[in-house]
Amino acid sequence: MAGNTNRYSTYTAASTNTGAGSDSKNGDAAEKKELWNSMLSSVASGRRLPEKNIILLGGSVDSQREFFESLANNELRRSLDRNASRTPPVANSFALGYAYYDVLDADQEDTLARISLYTLTSPSPAFASLLQPLLTPQSIPNTLIVVLLDWSEPWKWLRQLREWILLLRTVLVSLSDECKETMEEVMLSWRDRGRGGSVNLDGSAAVPTADGENAVPVGPGEWEDALGLPLAVVCQNAEKMEYLEKTQGWKEEEFDVVLQFMRTVLLKHGASMIYTTPSVPSQLPTLIHSSLGIHSLLKKQPLKHNVIDRDKIVVPPNWDSWGKIRVLRDGFGVDQVSNGWSIDLDQPFPRPHTNGAAAESEHADGHDDRAAPDPEGSAVTLYENAVQDPTMDALQLAGRNTHSTELEVETIDTQTFLAQQLKVLEAFKQKSDEASRESARHKASKKVDDDHMMVGSETEAKVLEHIGPVQFNMGGIQVDADDMVQRLKERQACGSGDELGSPTAEDIMDSTPHMDTENLQAFFHGLMNRRGATTK
């Protein structure tokens, strides 16, 4: 208080010597205003949150939202803060999207930083102008590039990653010299993290080395193509690995080949990689936040590598090496893939994939950069030969070119197609006519046979009606042959023939179907003599 009094009195005396009372009041108010401004500025700077940026590339609108929710941890926040009515929206439906969230400490009370999330789903060169303003000398040290890949189509990973890196190159090359110097400094600090630098990736202090040298030197294939910004690749929906195993016949060898290719190409950029599964806790928040330099003040969360569990892979930056990649499975040409990736990145950036009328106009003009073959020794070609798209197996067996940028079905001219179909229809019609004629001939012959049978039966009936019953004279007795045969049948049915032990007329007729008239007459004559003897 004494100090303040002396200062005030000194200022008042100086003002009195000027002889202007009004000026003294104005000067006093100006000094008080300046004092309050400085105090407010100091308090505001003390409470200002660190600003961090994530440029999220690839994936779909839904997968980007899933990534945002896994980082923002919205479910936990809603359970702790019942007054929270809604979470920050995610605007990523068109072109360059945006969202933000605050990183909370372990107690979910203190805010460590605010992260701005910029999203882009298509690697179109037209979007390069949207990314360029995001990279300034002030924002580059606080920016992380994240590329989303999906396990639903792992055979497209290397081609998709190449398109995104080529797009980033076009953006980074167009930056100012000041930005490029800042990026070089950032890459040098990232290369030293975890290798004896000042700070490890998880925020712990690194072990100092003599003469300021790194504890572990950079190995072959490491940091050969630094982008200027830290890079992390997130492979989502790892639960679909089981689907590939059951329906597509994938084995551990296929999964290991995918992992070896990805680790080899990411090693050249000093990038990290992680597999994630929806609704399953993972180290994704730890990897992303530690890559941005955000660390908890209450609880240390170390980032642990994992290359054993196939659906929980975590490869931190500055951890991998060619030796660790070779150990995963023998026979993998890590040096060949690394050199092939350099060849891929030396190619000009292709035009984006288009659909509909735009694609038709490109093919009609005869200019389609997507149809250009990959260069010789390309790592993308090696990868797609090793990890093939199962939907293209039929085309491969047919010996067709299975390049993903060409049409799978080639149409023919309309008139040619109609001429071919006309020949097929004529052959079918001729075959049908022959079948009809054959059926008509068969019906006609059958009708003639039926007519003959009907005529024969009618003639026989007329003859029998004209002749009448067959009769003959047996010893002065007129005998009806039909009546005699009927009586003999009835007698056989009653068993009388068996009791007498004598053969019946029917038996004799059956045994001798061609019996002459003399034998038949002798049979009936003997029968009549037997009756006469019995009567006497």
Say which residue, 130 or 412, is predicted with more confidence.
Answer: 130
**Same-domain pairing of 438 and 512:** no
Within-domain flag for 39 = no
Render pLDDT for 275-293 as a digit per residue (tens, 0 to 9): 999 888 899 999 999 999 8
In degrees, rounded to 5, the angle at the alpha carbon of residue 124 between the alpha carbons of residues 119 and 125 is: 115
- The CA-based angle 510-514-519, given to 5 degrees, is 90
Claim to verify: residue 460 and residue 490 sit in the same structural domain:
no
Residues 246 and 279 in one domain: yes
Task: Decide if pLDDT at 418 tops 80.
Answer: yes
501-512 pLDDT tens trace: 455 555 545 544
Whether residues 452 and 491 share a domain: the answer is: no
- 330-355 CB burial, b ≥16 within 10 A, e <16: eebebeebbebbebbbeeebbebeee
Q: Are 312 and 282 in contact (CB under 8 A)?
A: yes
- Confidence at residue 230, expressed as pLDDT on a 0 to 100 scale: 94
298 and 185 in one domain? yes
Own/partner pairs, 474-481, CB within 8 angstroms, 24+ separation: 474/521, 474/524, 474/525, 474/528, 475/524, 475/525, 475/528, 477/528, 479/524
Q: Measure Cα distances from 283 to 194, 233, 299 in Å.
A: 18, 13, 15
pLDDT reading at 450 higher than 90? no
Q: Is the pLDDT of residue 58 over 80?
A: yes
Give the number of domains in the chain: 3
Choose the weakest-confidence range: 175-184, 192-201, 431-440, 471-480.
Answer: 192-201
The percent of residues above 70 in pLDDT, for the chain, comes to 65
The answer to whether position 389 is within a domain reads: no
Do residues 493 and 463 both lie within one domain?
no
Q: What is the pLDDT of residue 407?
A: 52
Flag whether 20 is in a domain.
Answer: no
Say if pTM beats, i.e. exceeds, 0.85.
no
Is 242 among the domain residues?
yes
Residue ending a domain, choose from 429, 445, 468? 468
In a domain, 365, yes or no: no
For residue 447, the enclosing domain spans 412-468
Query: Where is the domain boundary, 468, 485, 504?
Result: 468
Per-residue pLDDT tens over the stretch 333-371? 999 999 999 999 998 886 444 444 344 344 434 334 444
Q: What CA–CA distance (Å, rounded) separates 370 from 351?
A: 7
Do residue 316 and residue 426 come from a single domain?
Answer: no
Residues 480 and 464 in one domain: no
355 located within any domain: no
**How many helices (H) and strands (E) would you count in the chain?**
20, 9
Q: Are residues 463 and 526 in the same domain?
A: no
End-to-end CA distance of the chain: 182
462 with 487, same domain: the answer is: no
Same domain, 147 and 286: yes
In a domain, 245, yes or no: yes
State the pLDDT at residue 197: 43
Residues 66 and 146 placed together within one structural domain of the fold? yes
Q: Please indicate, yes or no, if residue 352 is contained in any of the structural domains.
A: no
